[in-house]
Amino acid sequence: MSASTVVPPATAAIPSAHTGKLFADRIGRIEVSATMAVTAEAAKLRAQGAKLVDFGAGEPHFATPRHIKDAAIAAIENNFSRYTVVSGIPEVRKAIVERHSCDFGSEYAVEEAVFTTGGKLALFNAIQVLVDHGDEVILPVPYWVSFKDIIQYAGGKPVFLHTEESENFRITAEAIEKAITPKTKAIILNSPSNPAGSVVAPSDLERIVHLAQSKKIFLLLDECYVYLQYKGAPVSGGSFLDAKEHVIVLGSLSKTYAMTGWRAGFALGPRSVVAAMSKLQSQSTSSTASLVQKASIAALTGPQDCVAEMRADYLKLRDRILAGLAGIPGITCTVPEGAFYVYPNVSAYIGKGGMQSATQLATKLLHEAHVVAVPGEAFGTGEHIRLSYAVSHDDVDEGIRRMQDFFRKLG
């Protein structure tokens, strides 16, 4: 056996000499992302030859637009392949602030922008630099899976804010104000939201931004789906210039430009916060991939019709999947105002066919109907499943047909 093929000894059984523990406490505070767990289970079935309809993955079914790919190819050909400044080259940060200013009327300097390896890292770094042990972060339910774990990883305490399904999971300033305590450090909002596609009304957003300002806390606004809002012009938390010091905008190119695998995200916020996030980034990932920065400049400064075209298709897909779900007795569903998910309430079927939870229902749906869905427990509610309709129209029809059969048999 050559030296390179010698299997290293397993370290998993070796605890630290002075604590008796193998792992640091912080890794025990988080779980594997539920959406990734579903993807892994589905991959196993697929490997066995199953033809799945995949409503699990939260990513566009479109290819990255040609002009964006061309910019990356040119970057490679031009040997733009070295380390860059940690927070992103000035041109990419300029493209971010100008795009945001043009679309939302915000006013950020290049130094108030940091380019990150995906929007998730922008969120992770923002929480890491702001949230200390014991700090509270207000999080409306249903929430995107990673918010809770990222807060907990930092040692913070998520304070869950109940919303009413009958009001389309609306988030109001009154509800947030009631949840604020002396320990509150931040509020996280995501509009349009993953998983329910709810949008924070502009008047609510304005009041929440000013609430954050008056209470001297931060509003972290995840704008990952801001360009996928179906009705009315989207409003950004960064548009309220008088309260800018209390708002951190977390952005992503993943969904807007069908670039999930490129890992391109950003944060806009107070100079000091952005500097702290860049400092953290300098000791972890360093800059994002150089060619991704070039591709992102093309995305942000190039023609935006691709965004409108994709949004128009998502809207048709939304209506198609909602119409299909409406044909399943007992299932109700709020009408998403953005993003590309529906969040049907399946509580009428929990307790039937041996299923005691949404997780068990999603598992049975996967194994028996070959439809991939993410159970509501991942988003803080036990009565729903999340279906991503960023799939082909044929897949929507086939998935609905399979679900209609599946639920009919459960009766």
Least distance (Å) between residue 134 CB and ligand PLP = 25
Alpha-carbon span 255 to 245, nearest angstrom: 27
- Nearest Cα to 217, choosing from 171, 270, 175? 270
> Identity (one letter) of the amino acid at 350?
I
Alpha-carbon span 104 to 243, nearest angstrom: 15
Least distance (Å) between residue 48 CB and ligand PLP = 27
SS3 content of the chain, % helix, strand, coil (to 5): 45, 15, 40
Least distance (Å) between residue 45 CB and ligand PLP = 22
| 136, containing H or E segment | strand 136-140
Binding site for ligand PLP (CB under 6 A): 58, 118-120, 144, 190, 194, 222, 224, 252, 254, 260, 265
- Whether the CB-CB separation of 104 and 238 falls below 8 Å is answered with yes
Closest CB to ligand PLP among residues 224, 400: 224
The pair of three-digit structure tokens given for residue 107, joined into one six-digit string = 């006013």
Closest CB to ligand PLP among residues 147, 240: 147
- Whether the CB-CB separation of 208 and 201 falls below 8 Å is answered with no
Give the chain's end-to-end CA distance (angstroms, integer).
Answer: 60
Least distance (Å) between residue 6 CB and ligand PLP = 37
Least distance (Å) between residue 390 CB and ligand PLP = 11
Closest CB to ligand PLP among residues 194, 290: 194
Bridge-based pairing of strands 385-388 and 374-375 is antiparallel
Closest CB to ligand PLP among residues 362, 369: 362
- Whether the CB-CB separation of 351 and 358 falls below 8 Å is answered with no
Least distance (Å) between residue 54 CB and ligand PLP = 15
> Identity (one letter) of the amino acid at 200?
V
Closest CB to ligand PLP among residues 217, 390: 390
Least distance (Å) between residue 1 CB and ligand PLP = 41
Residue with tokens 């300029």: 94
* Beta bridge partner(s), residue 68: none
Closest CB to ligand PLP among residues 136, 222: 222
Least distance (Å) between residue 347 CB and ligand PLP = 24
Residues 6+ apart with CB under 8 A from 137: 127, 131, 151, 156, 157, 158, 159, 184, 185, 186, 187, 188
Closest CB to ligand PLP among residues 147, 406: 147
- Whether the CB-CB separation of 379 and 145 falls below 8 Å is answered with yes
Least distance (Å) between residue 374 CB and ligand PLP = 11
Closest CB to ligand PLP among residues 154, 328: 154
SS (H, E, C) 173-236: HHHHHHHCCCCEEEEEEECCCCCCCCCCCHHHHHHHHHHHHHHCCEEEEECCCCCCECCCCCCC
Residue with tokens 């637009």: 65
- Whether the CB-CB separation of 362 and 373 falls below 8 Å is answered with yes
Closest CB to ligand PLP among residues 389, 406: 389
User: Which sign, positive or negative, has the C-alpha torsion 370, 376, 377, 382?
Assistant: negative
Closest CB to ligand PLP among residues 156, 251: 251
Least distance (Å) between residue 260 CB and ligand PLP = 5
